[in-house]
Copies of this chain bind each other. A is one copy, B any other.
Amino acid sequence: MGKKEKTAIEPTRAEDYPEWYQQVVKASDLAERSPVRGCMVIKPWGYALWENVSSVLDNMFKETGVKNAYFPLFIPLNFLEKEAEHVEGFAKECAVVTHHRLEQSGEGGLVPAGKLTEPLIVRPTSETIIGDSFARWITSYRDLPVLINQWANVVRWEMRTRIFLRTSEFLWQEGHTAHADKEEAIERTHMMLAVYRKFAEEYLAMPVITGRKSPSERFPGAVDTTCIEAMMQDRKALQAGTSHFLGQNFAKASEIKFQSAEENEEYAWTTSWGVSTRLIGGLIMRHGDDDGIVLPPKIASAHVVLLPIFRKPDDRQKVMTFTKSLAKELSALTYHQQRIRVEIDDREIGGARGWEWIKKGIPIRVEIGPRDIKEDSVFVGRRDKGHRDKTSIKRDVFIKEITSILDNIQKNLYDRALAFRKDNTVVIDGKDDFYNFYTPKNPEKPEIHGGFSMSHWCGSEDCETKIKEDLMVTIRCIPFETDSTGEQGKCICCGNKSTGRVIFSKAY
């Protein structure tokens, strides 16, 4: 065996995937832990990514008729209590505001004072506070549908946190709609799931499976929870977005009633749907390699970095002139309705500079030295091809081809992810095979396990629980894209009759 090749991230994915994740977040300069338990600081490079994600999604929502609004951060305790399953689901992990000022204690420090009559909950999600507005806004069928989205921070006091994937505070969007009839609400639930799917696949280059959650995994208070599930490089699943049909549960809790065309008083039918900064965790785990993150061009914080090289002090002016003129031309180009985002990094810090941009996952690196200028060419490195990639391209050819290079990177990331998922998705019908699939082969690396298993399930919560307890494997979804519905089969756990295959996997 040859010498291990140098990588920018240690350990590598194969050596220790969870630790690789922590190191890659750090090295890519996306975010950092904060001194506040479970809360993160999203650094400029990470926030730019979130700005692109939210800008694209926002346009997609608006195209379906959704409008943005903003509702209070705080939810009165009695609002949360209105829907029994809902409060049950969130009571264990919510930040509670009990006082509205600080005062000097006898011992000198400040202590909470001005106790509130009723505690306020920092929103973990906004169904109940938005429902209160909907009840005021909606009186007639003519007021429906109401299609609202909110970009906001929410807080869920998680006991075990992991940056981007599970944090006490996170950023998200939450859509909330109300409809006059059930079918339209169900249609909206699926419409928004389709938006998420399109966004994940076409922008994040992350193939996803859409499906329905089993009853035990439903959003607290929902009638039906649909989701997109992606496979990470350790073959675990990541729930990347959810869209809920809430039936009339929240309408009844919040008294969202309207007069129908037939002049009957009816409860509205509502939906809610959301994606969060968790998507960034998914991006890292889906596309990152042993040198850092790899950003899909369509949502990359920047598309290309220009790295001027000065061999002699005299070179500086000439090289910078060439670099700036190239930056100007590139910035004027359009790539999928965006301007091409160009960075110039002229710090004279040697090889560390190039490595920094590799770790940060920028799609294209361009080196520009005096010799390249003489030949009117540039050295182009594609991030998806690894840190060694470097090709000399004529300047004008590069300008002409940059958008197709970016498209090619985007496609390459998607194809690679899809092939990986296919390679790690199996059909399993025998219980022993199933248990074997999810048993780590190497006890020192318990995180390396099977992948997605398409297996039959009888529908009972007992079987679901047993598999979860035995293997830490859960039903990710009852997939929509399968023709196994109605297929005869036997439950992978109890052997009883099943009506179709579901997707089992370990998950984040």
Contacts and interface: CB of A to CB of B under 8 A. Distances in A.
B122 A97 contact: yes
Contact of A96 (B51, B74, B97): B97
23 contacts: A34-B71, A34-B129, A35-B79, A35-B129, A35-B132, A36-B72, A36-B74, A42-B69, A42-B71, A47-B70, A48-B68, A50-B70, A74-B95, A81-B110, A87-B102, A93-B100, A94-B102, A95-B99, A96-B98, A96-B102, A96-B112, A97-B97, A101-B157
Contacts of A121: 102
A91 B72 contact: no
Nearest to A130: B41
A354 interface: no
A35 B80 CA distance: 13
A248 B42 CA distance: 25
Contacts of A489: none
Q: Which 6 A-B pairs have the closest CB atoms?
A: A44-B67, A39-B72, A42-B70, A96-B99, A91-B102, A100-B157
A153 interface: yes
Contacts of A48: 67-68
Contacts of A75: 36
Nearest to A113: B96
A76 interface: yes
Interface in A22-48: 32, 34-36, 39-44, 46-48
A41 B99 contact: no
Q: How many copies does the complex hold?
A: 2
A153 B39 CA distance: 16
A94 B71 CA distance: 19
Nearest to A277: B70
Contacts of A111: 119
Nearest to A142: B347
Contacts of A99: 95-96, 98, 119
Contacts of A92: 101-102
A263 to B, nearest CB: 18
A171 interface: yes
Interface in A141-195: 148, 152-153, 155, 157, 169, 171
A83 B97 CA distance: 23
Contacts of A97: 95-98, 122
